[in-house]
């Protein structure tokens, strides 16, 4: 993962999951999220619960909403075994 956002876009389900998880705390504006790194885990959980894995587009959306470098979002997502950055087989 790079320090810059990639061209990947989140799916509607991923965007909705992140926005729902963050809007209750921050409101709909992404500017309100500046400096809220502590919300990385709730945002990652929301995407993982909704879709089953965390795509590059979802990583980009979380980075944008929280104004956190994409490399930091990727680092947190790959550090925890409960998150997958590759599609998982259905359970």
Look at residue 21 and tell me whether its pLDDT is greater than 80.
Answer: yes
9 φ/ψ sector (left φ>0, alpha ψ -120 to 50, else beta): beta
% of residues, the chain, pLDDT over 70 = 80
Predicted TM-score of the model (pTM): 0.80
- Residue span of the structural domain in which 47 resides: 12-79
pLDDT of residue 1: 54
DSSP states of 12-64: HHHHHHHHHHHHHHH-S-GGGGTT-GGGHHHHHHHHHHHHSS--HHHHHHHHH
**Residue 32: CATH number of its domain:** 1.10.10
pLDDT tens per residue across span 32-74: 445 678 899 999 999 999 999 999 999 999 998 998 999 999 9
Which 3 state secondary structure label does DSSP give 65?
helix
Q: Mean pLDDT for the chain?
A: 84
Total structural domains within the chain = 1
């Amino acid at each position: 993962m790079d320090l810059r956002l990639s061209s990947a876009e989140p799916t509607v389900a991923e965007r909705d999951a992140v926005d729902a998880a963050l809007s209750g705390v921050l409101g709909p504006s992404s500017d309100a999220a500046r400096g809220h790194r502590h919300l990385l885990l709730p945002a990652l959980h929301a995407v993982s619960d909704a879709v089953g894995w965390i795509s590059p587009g979802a990583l980009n959306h979380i980075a944008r909403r929280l104004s956190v470098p994409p490399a930091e979002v990727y680092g947190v997502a790959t550090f925890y075994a409960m998150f997958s950055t590759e599609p998982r087989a259905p359970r």
